[in-house]
Each structure stands twice: as structure tokens, then as C-alpha cells.
């Protein structure tokens, strides 16, 4: 009787050569193709440790590993391509490429790779497959690649004269690449006019190892999130100075402290807690701040700290008829002054910017504008009225900065209150879909040409908020036509997100900056729009997994573009789902 290992060897030989086993031997035919296919659901994630490989004393040494995630929705036509892929990610993209129909004989492969920060690349090469005794498949590969895409004002980087080789190992039972090793070499050039100047090289060797696969909403997910929030709250408390303030980020001293107090209160720390109480006292002791962010965050911190526990449920049940905030006279007077400054100092109704010189070209932007709107929402909840013209102007702002044209699309959006997406018998049913005539995102300013994830989310949340406030106030501006127009723009924004959004970056932004700022913006947009899934993707699960994977052991997060204090606050606000949903009460708030 054949041993098990011999049987496996013969099975592999059959798969690769087509030889007959048992009975009369057949003439060898062409190698049989090996079927390779990822098996990740749309929100499932494969987690890889990626380490640079160097030689030291003639031996390979692995450097410090970083995390790379592969979500099911990033497998376009079965091949890995992250949203808004960048030139520096070519190594991982080529290493995790999974060609089909391979045999033991190298066969040609061709692939076009769309890049967000460089001209697109066309890669050509070969790959083959060898079935191992343990059932896994080794796939050696080679690539050569050059730039083929067009350049414009947003894409000036060229990656060409590229070569790569290595091997990957695929586990058919799990449906994932379990490891890969790649060597890559290419030149980078920056286009300036009709010339392309050298901009360094893309060289190195990298080792990829599968750490784990996390399925959507896995057992223990909520417990892990809650423990992470608790650890983060402890860390934020530890950063507070004895006077109640927090270390400033640049010139943003009051704004940073307000953001930290907002985060603590949103994560369940009561206002009587010394960390929140000292922070609020320090804020009130300061003169009203001149910056939009600081004004807005301060009002948001007071609203969050003084919101009674369970208020939304009590309002919905009719047990209370109106919001009440037990601010002291000094706190109320300070908040009223800040709210007044915030509404009076708009560049135009519904638009905010940085304090600038009178002749400054850029007077408003969508980031300051969304926080100005959030600050006035907090002011309204604190009992300070906001003019209808301000909310209506907010919708005008996001019309001015909206893309002028876009493609048609079908959007699958599941909202709170929609029926569970299952058919009788437990079979999964398709989510509700809507046709969007024109997919358009929102720009940071009228000087930009491409939307970013954070700004599209800012537009969606701001439009939802403005419409809600006008309807709640029974404003004559909230006509049926106006409501329909806002809904159309909101759906256009969600359709843009369906095609572009990612949870590990501020997608389509020119630089790798502000990923957690973008996550917090996504959280607000989803909660204001009551969205659970987009295109079958679970936005909260995907974002939370990124934060769980990237948290430091002491409970903080680092964010490119800012410091750890602000990045940690944005991360905690996302994990806590801190944004209060839009809900109309009997007093119109």
C-alpha cells in the first residue's frame, strides 16, 4: 500500500502532468492547469507582515515588519489592487498577483495597474505553478513593467524600467496567499513640462507573511474594540497637563484640548471626572478662540459632556420633550460668545476657512466648513439658535465645490431600518440598489481638481445636517425640490465612495496623510446617512480592524500629517461611533 506522502506526490503529478495512475499508462499530455482563486468575502481581511530583506554577513536579515491588509473588495477580477494604489505599493501588488490557469511550465502574464499618484503601469512576465506535498502551490514569477498612462496636473510621477521576480505560495484550502518573496527594481521620474527628471528609485527585497484572516464581525470583535477604547481613554487621560490642557499641535492649543475633552466625553467619561472637568475649566478660562476648528471643537466638547445619558432613547420614546443642558452661567455665556463668533465670521453663509489676510486667494475650504457646521450643530443642541440662511448656505458651499460631471452608476446602499438582507430560507439576498445618474465627489476647494475621501465624507455629512436642520425648523427653504436635490447629491457622494474609499488611507489624497481624520469623517457621513453597508462593504468593521491592527501597545495611534494626540482622538471617535444621529425632537432640535 502506498504511503500517504507517495499518494500526495502522485496526486500532484496527476494535477500537473495529466498522467494516468492505475490501469494502462497513458501518453503524457499537456500539463493540466492549476486553479488559483482568492476566497475572501468583501469585508474579510487577510493580514500580512511585510519586512524588508537585507544581507548582513552573507545572510538574509529581515527588517522591521509593517502591516498590509487585503480586503475581499480589493480583489478586482480576482487580482489584488488596493483603492488609490500608489507607486510604492507595486512590490506588494505584483507579489500578491494570483494568475489563473497556470501549469508547471512558465506561461506569459500581462497586467495593467492603475496608480493614484503615478502614471499607470503595464507589467508583463511569466509564472508557473508547483503543487507541494502539503497541497499548497508555489508560484514563481518574473515581471518587467513600464509606465503607460497619461500625465495630468495631478499625476506627474513616472515609474519605468522596472523588473521584479520572486515566488508566492498559495493555500487553496484557505483561498489566500500565505507567503511571498519579491525583489523589485525600477526608476522613478517626475514630469516637469516635456521632461522627466530623476526622482529616486524603487528598489528592494521584501518578505510577506500571512499573519491571520479576519472574517467580518468575527467572534470577539466587539470585546476587542471595547478593550481598545478603554486603553485609548487611559492613554489620553495620561497626556493631560495638571492645568487641564493638552500639548498643542502647532498653533492649535485650544483646539487640541477641546478635541481631547470631546473624545473622553464621547467615550463615556462623565463630566464630573477630573480629566473632563479640568479640561472644560481650562477652555472657559481662555478668550474665545479665533480659529474655526477650535471654536467648533469647543462647542462639540461642551455639548457631548453635558448631554444626559440615554437622551436620544428618551426623546424617541417621548419621555422627555426637549434637550436640556445644565451648563453653569459662565460656561453658557462663553459658549454663546463662541457660537456667535462662529456664525458671524463665515466667509459667506455656510462657508468657513482659516483666518486669512484680506487679499488671500483661498478664503474657505471644505474641511473648515464641515467643522464650522458641526460646531453650529452643537450650538443648536446647547440652545443657541442658528439662522436658516447659514444652513442653506452650507448646501450652496457643497454645490460650489462639487465635481462638475461624473459617470452613471448603480449604488447598493443598506441603511438602518432596511430589511435584513436575507431571503426566506436564509439565502443571502441582494442589497437595495439605486441608479445614480452622475457620480460626483466634493473638493477641498475650488482650486482642487480631484476629490479626497475625507472631503467627500465632509460633503455628505454637511448636506445631511443642513437638510435635517432646515426640516426640523420647518424652514420655508426646505421645499420638496430642495430635499430631492440634497438627496441626489448625497447619493452621488456615496457612489463616489463606493468606487474610491479605503480604510487605510485618505483615498485619492496626493499624500499619505490624515487617514484617521478621514475615518472619523466617514463615521459621521455614515451615521448621518444611516448607512450600514456600501456596495456590500461593512464600513465600520473594516475601519475598526485597521485601527485594531495599527494601535501601539501603549494605546495610541500615529497619524501622518499630525501628531499622536490628534490621531488617537480621531481613532477613538471612530471606534466609539461617537457621532450622535440626526433625530428630530418636539422642540425641533
Query: What are 495's three cell numbers?
Result: 457612489
Q: What is the pLDDT along the chain (589 residues), one digit of tens a residue?
A: 444 444 444 344 444 443 343 444 455 666 778 889 999 999 999 999 999 999 888 888 999 999 999 999 999 877 899 988 999 999 999 999 998 889 999 999 999 998 888 889 999 999 999 999 999 999 999 999 999 866 665 667 899 999 999 999 999 999 999 999 999 999 999 877 667 788 889 999 999 999 999 999 999 999 999 999 999 999 999 999 999 999 988 777 899 999 999 999 999 999 999 999 999 999 999 888 889 999 999 999 999 999 988 777 777 777 777 788 889 999 999 999 999 999 999 988 999 998 765 666 678 999 999 999 999 999 999 999 999 999 999 999 999 999 988 999 999 999 987 775 554 444 455 678 899 999 999 999 998 989 999 999 999 999 999 999 999 999 999 999 999 999 999 999 999 999 998 999 999 888 888 999 999 999 999 999 999 999 999 999 999 999 999 999 999 999 887 889 999 999 999 999 999 999 754 444 4
Within its chain, how far is the Cα of 459 from the centroid?
Answer: 16
User: According to the model, what pLDDT value does residue 100 have?
Assistant: 82
- Range 355-389 burial, b when 16+ CB lie within 10 A, else e: eeeeeeeebbbbbbbbbbbbbbbbbbbbbbebebe
Q: Are 210 and 179 in contact (CB under 8 A)?
A: yes
The pTM of the full predicted model, rounded to 2 decimals, is: 0.90
Beta bridge mates, 155: 152
The pLDDT value recorded for residue 471 is 95
Per-residue pLDDT, 464: 98
Report how far residue 575's alpha carbon sits from residue 225's, in angstroms, rounded to the nearest whole number.
7
Shortest CA distance to 561 belongs to which of 523, 519, 526? 519
221-419+430-575 carries CATH number 1.50.10.20: yes
The C-alpha R_g of the chain, in whole angstroms, comes to 27
Nearest Cα residue to 73 out of 82, 85, 61, 65: 82
**DSSP, residue by residue, 346-415:** -SBTTB------TT-S----HHHHHHHHHHHHHHHHHT----HHHHHHHHHHHHHTB-S----EEEEEEE
Predicted confidence at residue 359, as pLDDT, reads 62
Taking the C-alpha atoms of residue 343 and residue 351, their distance in angstroms, rounded to an integer, is 10
- What is the domain partition of the chain in residue ranges? 1-32, 45-214, 221-419+430-575
**pLDDT for position 9:** 41
Nearest Cα to Cα of residue 273 among 246, 300, 244, 295: 244
* Cα–Cα nearest to 541, from 212, 216, 72: 216
Using the CB atoms, write b or e for 206-216: b if 16+ within 10 Å: bbbebeebbeb
Q: Identify the DSSP state of 99.
A: -
Q: CA 289, CA 253: separation in Å to the nearest integer?
A: 10
Specify whether the CB–CB gap between 183 and 164 falls below 8 A.
yes
Cell 502539503 belongs to residue: 134
Amino acid at each position: 500500500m502506498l504511503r500517504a506522502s507517495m499518494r500526495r506526490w502522485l496526486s500532484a503529478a496527476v494535477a500537473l502532468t495529466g498522467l494516468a495512475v492505475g490501469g494502462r499508462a497513458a501518453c503524457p499530455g499537456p500539463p493540466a492547469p492549476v486553479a488559483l482563486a482568492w476566497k475572501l468575502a468583501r469585508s474579510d481581511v487577510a493580514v500580512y507582515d511585510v519586512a524588508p530583506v537585507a544581507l548582513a554577513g552573507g545572510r538574509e536579515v529581515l527588517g522591521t515588519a509593517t502591516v498590509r491588509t487585503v480586503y475581499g473588495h480589493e480583489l478586482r477580477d480576482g487580482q489584488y489592487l488596493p483603492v488609490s494604489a500608489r507607486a510604492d505599493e507595486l512590490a506588494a501588488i505584483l507579489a500578491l498577483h494570483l494568475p489563473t490557469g497556470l501549469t508547471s511550465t512558465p506561461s506569459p502574464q500581462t497586467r495593467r495597474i492603475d496608480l493614484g499618484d503615478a502614471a499607470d503601469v503595464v507589467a508583463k512576465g511569466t509564472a508557473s505553478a508547483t503543487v507541494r506535498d502539503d497541497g499548497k502551490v508555489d508560484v514563481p514569477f518574473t515581471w518587467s513593467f513600464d509606465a503607460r498612462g497619461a500625465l495630468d496636473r495631478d499625476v506627474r510621477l513616472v515609474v519605468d524600467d522596472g523588473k521584479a521576480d520572486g515566488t508566492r505560495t498559495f493555500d487553496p484550502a484557505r483561498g489566500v496567499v500565505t507567503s511571498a518573496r519579491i525583489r523589485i527594481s525600477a526608476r522613478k521620474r517626475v514630469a516637469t513640462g516635456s521632461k522627466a527628471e530623476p526622482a529616486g528609485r524603487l528598489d528592494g527585497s521584501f518578505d510577506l507573511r500571512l499573519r491571520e484572516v479576519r472574517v467580518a464581525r468575527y467572534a470577539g470583535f466587539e470585546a476587542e474594540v471595547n478593550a481598545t477604547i478603554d486603553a485609548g481613554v487611559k492613554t489620553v487621560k495620561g497626556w493631560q497637563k495638571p492645568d487641564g490642557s493638552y500639548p498643542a499641535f502647532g498653533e492649535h492649543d485650544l483646539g487640541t484640548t477641546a478635541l481631547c475633552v470631546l473624545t473622553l466625553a464621547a467615550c463615556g467619561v462623565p463630566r464630573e471626572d477630573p480629566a473632563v472637568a479640568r479640561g472644560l475649566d481650562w477652555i472657559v478660562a481662555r478668550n474665545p478662540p479665533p480659529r474655526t476648528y477650535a471654536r467648533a471643537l469647543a462647542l462639540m466638547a461642551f455639548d457631548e459632556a453635558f448631554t444626559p445619558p440615554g437622551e436620544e432613547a428618551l426623546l424617541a420614546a417621548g419621555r422627555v420633550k426637549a434637550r436640556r443642558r445644565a451648563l453653569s452661567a459662565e460656561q453658557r455665556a462663553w459658549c454663546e460668545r463662541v457660537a456667535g463668533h462662529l456664525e458671524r465670521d463665515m466667509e459667506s453663509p455656510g462657508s468657513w476657512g482659516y483666518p486669512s489676510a484680506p487679499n488671500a486667494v483661498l478664503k474657505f475650504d471644505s474641511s473648515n466648513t464641515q467643522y464650522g457646521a458641526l460646531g453650529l450643530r452643537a450650538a443648536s443642541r446647547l440652545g443657541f439658535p442658528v439662522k436658516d440662511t447659514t444652513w442653506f448656505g452650507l448646501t450652496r458651499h457643497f454645490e460650489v465645490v462639487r465635481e462638475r460631471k461624473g459617470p452613471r452608476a448603480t449604488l447598493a446602499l443598506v441603511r438602518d431600518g432596511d430589511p435584513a438582507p436575507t431571503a426566506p430560507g436564509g439565502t443571502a439576498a441582494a442589497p437595495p440598489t439605486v441608479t445614480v445618474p452622475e457620480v460626483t465627489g466634493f473638493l477641498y476647494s475650488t482650486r482642487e481638481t480631484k476629490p479626497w475621501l475625507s472631503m467627500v465624507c465632509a460633503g455628505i455629512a454637511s448636506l445631511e445636517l443642513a437638510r435635517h436642520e432646515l426640516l426640523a425648523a420647518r424652514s420655508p427653504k426646505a421645499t420638496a425640490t430642495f430635499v430631492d436635490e440634497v438627496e441626489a447629491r448625497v447619493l452621488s457622494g456615496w457612489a463616489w465612495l463606493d468606487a474610491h474609499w479605503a480604510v487605510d488611507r485618505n483615498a485619492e489624497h496626493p499624500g499619505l496623510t490624515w487617514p484617521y481624520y478621514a475615518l472619523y469623517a466617514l463615521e459621521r457621513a455614515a451615521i448621518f446617512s444611516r448607512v450600514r453597508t456600501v456596495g456590500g462593504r461593512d464600513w465600520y468593521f473594516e475601519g475598526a480592524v485597521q485601527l485594531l491592527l495599527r494601535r501601539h501597545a501603549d494605546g495610541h495611534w500615529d497619524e501622518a500629517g499630525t501628531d499622536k494626540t490628534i490621531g488617537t482622538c480621531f481613532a477613538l471617535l471612530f471606534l466609539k461611533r461617537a457621532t450622535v444621529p440626526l433625530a428630530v425632537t418636539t422642540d425641533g432640535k
